[in-house]
Amino acid sequence: MIGRLVVVGLGLIGGSFAKGVRESGLCGEVVGLDLDPQSRKLAVELGVVDRCEEDLAAACQGADVIQLAVPILAMEKLLGMLARLDLGDAILTDVGSAKGNVVRAAREVLAPRQLLNFVPGHPIAGSEQSGVEASNAELFRRHKVILTPLDETSPRALSVVDALWRALGADVEHMAIERHDEVLAATSHLPHLLAFGLVDSLAKRNENLDIFRYAAGGFRDFTRIAGSDPVMWHDIFLANRDAVLRTLDTFRSDLDVLREAVAAGDGHHMLGVFTRARVAREHFGKILARRAYMDKRAVKGLNFLAQPGGRLSGSVRMPGDKSISHRSIMLGSLAQGMTEVEGFLEGEDALATLQAFRDMGVVIEGPHHGRLVIHGVGLHGLQPAPGPLYVGNSGTSMRLLAGLLAAQRFDSQLTGDASLSRRPMSRVTAPLQAMGARIEAGADGLPPLTLQGGQRLRAIDYTLPMASAQVKSSLLLAGLYAEGETRVTEPAPTRDHTERMLQGFGYPVAVQGATVALASGHGLAATRIEVPGDISSAAFFLVAASIAEGSDLVLEHVGINPTRTGVIDILKLMGADISLHNLREVGGEPVADLQVRSAVLKGIEIPEALVPLAIDEFPVLFVAAACAQGRTVLRGAQELRVKESDRIQVMADGLSALGVTCQPTEDGIIIDGGALRGGEIQAHGDHRIAMAFSVAALRASGPVRILDCANVATSFPNFLALCGQVGIRVTEEGKS
Ligand code: S3P
């Protein structure tokens, strides 16, 4: 692709770049230059470069790309020397870890034509080793390289440098110069300054360094980077002074506030800082772990492998109900006082809601084994989040939060993952706009949502065009703030957890037939919430034990709210053997232990009235239908097409792949029960599709491989473990 690359400065970074490009075969010749004769000699011997030069002008002759990999403070002088040479159209790029100062120097000395060819860059990679002998062609693989082009940088120069880094396996990003310097000051330079500063502060007061004999892992981990190269860091703080000072000042003021909290014994403030920090650190840990995992396995997604056959037995507890978990965070945050939650679902969706409220300043302790303590801030106590609220795969988070945020004093933005970004939001934005909310969505009413704060909302009397608990709940949350009485009428009953829980928090809600009404002007009082097991998760095992001959299974403590039990009714109509024991009520929600034994299922016409009451359970109900005798017909379920995937089409494709005769229709499906064979299924990142086909394998004649299953963690993080416990043989592919 290019004729000649010149690398000036053959240290670890320059040497690794030279070696990587040389090995990539993208370049005719790689020429090295270094002040140290030993490095020049080694560079050739180790195959880092094709040849070395002593003199800059000689080295740069005929160069297509010149990479400047000298210490950051030497960059200015080097640019001055290059400016005096005729470099033709050679592209100049560098690896300096601060960009503002390099660009300033370049603007002072380079001619306009040379500036067109200048592409400032910074690879975020390194190692404890240094020198050309540590050169490693793989050093940048899966590491970030940030390019900070100038306004005048030519697209050609930018794309050549971009392509060279990508050829080394780097993950290249383009960024504004100032942003780069701020980000690096915060994530790299400040921590180094603090580590150097802390170790010195302790050391100089303890001359014989005796104190370090008492230091343990915490000290070691915090101060490891104080062992870095002092000269290099001295250079970096000189080079990136302004950005470092800005981030240091912000940190100092936060530290002062923390100091005050310690002095005043303000445990609430400390808990806020520590719980938020812990989550942020865990998030960072996951990013690192994912990177390591990807490095190791180079896999794109997570696949399940389900073995055919098996029978279910035992007694297991289902994870907490997802809908109730979301609402416990929301209402607990809006209440006055401390709400304790037990049985919270620690799945990605509910955790996304939890994080959103932490981002809005709510102190939440936990989750620890499903226990949370939420320090409610009251209806008017939320604070603006520092950035967009990212809710991942969770439609419930986005739609319910839309109603709540539309009514706040501050602006907010809601974003989600690729699947959520394809799901319709106008069903909530339209009625909220009718209440006076100002919300902008992306093209076709899809996420992200931008909500303008400070609007006075007016109550509306709204009849839902579709049976949706998310829309109903979104409007009720907005109604907590709207002038007048908000009334929502639904075309068919949908889950009523919001209404029940509001009442549990002491908020007056009137339910008359299909209409729910509430007026603003009241408050929520903290309470205790016990989240029952999720019937939507139990559904997989209800079907599994029904279709696997010889099964007898108990599912403990499952929520049986009548707006959720459609799956039990439908399975019973099909002939399932399900009995309810130990019926009780916890925290305003009915709960029971469910016993299920295998049974011969028969196909049915599913009553349309049951559709909203089993809306999340259809993927696995389709599996039941495929194992039943005769034909099952579903109608009136067009909502399934706009769930985490188009569940009608994706299930039809999967069932067909297993040899089942089925016919998707616009609002449902027709399935003829029969034999299932093994095969490969695409789950399209939809958790419930992945779990449904894990269950289908029980009746397949061969293994079922299910692709793209990582999102099972959104609703059922311990699914595979529970499967193993009861006798469903499904594992993550590649693990036993
Ligand atoms: C939910 C409502 C349902 C359901 C979703 C959770 C809720 O969505 O599918 O998993 O918690 O309110 P719709 O309101 O779109 O039917």
List pLDDT tens digits, range 648-705.
Answer: 999 999 999 999 999 999 999 999 999 999 999 999 999 999 999 999 999 999 999 9
Residues identified as active-site: 616
- Whether 337 is in a domain gets the answer no
Tell me how far the alpha carbon of residue 357 lies from the centroid of ligand 1, in angstroms. 20
Residue 128 is predicted with a pLDDT of: 66
Answer yes or no: is pLDDT of 196 > 60.
yes
Tell me how far the alpha carbon of residue 326 lies from the centroid of ligand 1, in angstroms. 11
- Whether 325 is in a domain gets the answer no
Nearest-angstrom CA–CA distance, 18 and 10 = 8
Nearest-angstrom CA–CA distance, 350 and 373 = 15
Tell me how far the alpha carbon of residue 727 lies from the centroid of ligand 1, in angstroms. 30
Residues 521 and 579 in one domain: no
Residues 167 and 220 in one domain: no
**Is 647 a known ligand-binding residue?**
yes
**Atom number of ligand 1 nearest to Cα 472:** 14
Residue 291 is predicted with a pLDDT of: 57
**Range with the poorest average pLDDT among 128-142, 209-223, 573-587:** 209-223
Residues 352 and 426 in one domain: yes
What range defines the domain where residue 503 resides? 344-530
- Cβ < 6 A, ligand 1 pocket: 323, 396, 468-470, 473, 495, 615-616, 639
Q: What is the mean pLDDT of residues 76-90?
A: 94
- Whether 556 is in a domain gets the answer yes
- Whether 642 is in a domain gets the answer yes
Give the domain-ending residue among 117, 151, 175: 175
**Atom number of ligand 1 nearest to Cα 326:** 11
CATH number at 705 reads 3.65.10.10
Q: Which two tokens stand for residue 481?
A: 């703030």
Find the helix or strand (DSSP H, E) in which 723 lies.
helix 719-726
Answer yes or no: is pLDDT of 299 > 60.
no
**Atom number of ligand 1 nearest to Cα 616:** 9
Pocket test for ligand 1, best of 330, 420, 495, 644 (most atoms within 8 A of CB): 495
Nearest-angstrom CA–CA distance, 349 and 358 = 15
Answer yes or no: is pLDDT of 24 > 60.
yes
Give the domain-ending residue among 140, 175, 210: 175
Q: What is the mean pLDDT of residues 342-348?
A: 96
pLDDT digits (tens, 9 = 90+) for 303-328: 999 999 999 999 999 999 999 999 99
**Is 322 a known ligand-binding residue?**
yes
Residue 726 is predicted with a pLDDT of: 98
Residue 130 is predicted with a pLDDT of: 79
DSSP 189: I
CA dist 430 → 440, 465, 466, 486, 503 (Å): 10, 11, 13, 15, 27
DSSP secondary structure of 168-188:
TT-EEEE--HHHHHHHHIIII
DSSP secondary structure of 447-509:
SPEEEE-S---B--EEE-SS--HHHHHHHHHHHTTSBSEEEEE-SS----HHHHHHHHTT---
Ligand 1 atom 10 nearest Cα: 616
Pocket test for ligand 1, best of 328, 420, 611, 615 (most atoms within 8 A of CB): 615
Tell me how far the alpha carbon of residue 197 lies from the centroid of ligand 1, in angstroms. 52
**Is 470 a known ligand-binding residue?**
yes
Answer yes or no: is pLDDT of 585 > 80.
yes
Answer yes or no: is pLDDT of 411 > 60.
yes
Pocket test for ligand 1, best of 470, 617, 686 (most atoms within 8 A of CB): 470
**Range with the poorest average pLDDT among 65-74, 228-237, 417-426, 495-504:** 228-237
Residues 564 and 517 in one domain: no
**Atom number of ligand 1 nearest to Cα 471:** 14
Residue 289 is predicted with a pLDDT of: 64
User: Residue 208 — pLDDT band, cuts 50, 70, 90?
Assistant: low
Answer yes or no: is pLDDT of 297 > 50.
no
Q: How far apart are the first and last CA of the chain?
A: 45
SS3 per residue for 377-440: ECCCCCCCCCCCEECCCCHHHHHHHHHHHCCCCCCEEEECCCCHHHCCCHHHHHHHHHCCCEEE
Residue 587 is predicted with a pLDDT of: 84
- Whether 364 is in a domain gets the answer yes
| Choice between 210 and 512, residue whose per-residue pLDDT is larger | 512
pTM: 0.77
**Is 643 a known ligand-binding residue?**
yes
- Whether 319 is in a domain gets the answer no
Residues 659 and 723 in one domain: yes
Nearest-angstrom CA–CA distance, 563 and 614 = 8
Pocket test for ligand 1, best of 323, 331, 425, 474 (most atoms within 8 A of CB): 323
Pocket test for ligand 1, best of 393, 394, 468, 535 (most atoms within 8 A of CB): 468
Tell me how far the alpha carbon of residue 615 lies from the centroid of ligand 1, in angstroms. 8
**Atom number of ligand 1 nearest to Cα 400:** 12
Q: What is the mean pLDDT of residues 624-646?
A: 98
Ligand 1 atom 5 nearest Cα: 396
Tell me how far the alpha carbon of residue 523 lies from the centroid of ligand 1, in angstroms. 25
Residues 150 and 36 in one domain: yes
Ligand 1 atom 4 nearest Cα: 616
Q: What is the mean pLDDT of residues 202-210?
A: 77
Tell me how far the alpha carbon of residue 396 lies from the centroid of ligand 1, in angstroms. 6
All residues at 6 or more sequence positions from 348 whose CB lies less than 8 Å from its CB, including other chains = 392, 393, 394, 711, 713, 714, 717
- Whether 339 is in a domain gets the answer no
Residue 734 is predicted with a pLDDT of: 85
Residues 476 and 490 in one domain: yes
Share of the chain above pLDDT 90, in %: 89
Tell me how far the alpha carbon of residue 21 lies from the centroid of ligand 1, in angstroms. 52
**Is 395 a known ligand-binding residue?**
yes
Query: Domain count of the chain?
Result: 5
Residues 388 and 505 in one domain: yes
Residues 536 and 526 in one domain: no
Residues 205 and 239 in one domain: yes
Ligand 1 atom 11 nearest Cα: 323
**Is 736 a known ligand-binding residue?**
no
Residue 4 is predicted with a pLDDT of: 97
Residue 280 is predicted with a pLDDT of: 85
Residues 378 and 445 in one domain: yes
pLDDT digits (tens, 9 = 90+) for 1-19: 899 999 999 999 999 999 9
Residue 298 is predicted with a pLDDT of: 40
**Atom number of ligand 1 nearest to Cα 612:** 16
Residue 213 is predicted with a pLDDT of: 75
**Atom number of ligand 1 nearest to Cα 615:** 9
**Is 213 a known ligand-binding residue?**
no
Cis peptide before 607 (omega within 30 of 0): no
Ligand 1 atom 16 nearest Cα: 468
Judge whether 453 and 408 are in contact, CB under 8 Å: yes
Q: Which residue has the tokens 């380079």?
A: 110
Answer yes or no: is pLDDT of 295 > 80.
no
User: Residue 53 — pLDDT band, cuts 50, 70, 90?
Assistant: very high
Judge whether 102 and 72 are in contact, CB under 8 Å: yes
Answer yes or no: is pLDDT of 290 > 70.
no
Count other Cβ atoms within 10 Å, centred on residue 433.
14
Judge whether 408 and 552 are in contact, CB under 8 Å: no
Answer yes or no: is pLDDT of 287 > 70.
no
pLDDT digits (tens, 9 = 90+) for 682-695: 999 999 999 999 99
Tell me how far the alpha carbon of residue 470 lies from the centroid of ligand 1, in angstroms. 5
Nearest-angstrom CA–CA distance, 396 and 402 = 10
Residues 90 and 151 in one domain: yes
pLDDT digits (tens, 9 = 90+) for 526-571: 999 999 999 999 999 999 999 999 999 999 999 999 999 999 999 9
Answer yes or no: is pLDDT of 407 > 60.
yes
Share of the chain above pLDDT 70, in %: 97
Answer yes or no: is pLDDT of 293 > 60.
no
- Whether 332 is in a domain gets the answer no
Give the domain-ending residue among 175, 190, 217: 175
Ligand 1 atom 13 nearest Cα: 468
Tell me how far the alpha carbon of residue 563 lies from the centroid of ligand 1, in angstroms. 12
User: Residue 736 — pLDDT band, cuts 50, 70, 90?
Assistant: low
Ligand 1 atom 15 nearest Cα: 468
CATH number at 105 reads 3.40.50.720
**Atom number of ligand 1 nearest to Cα 468:** 14
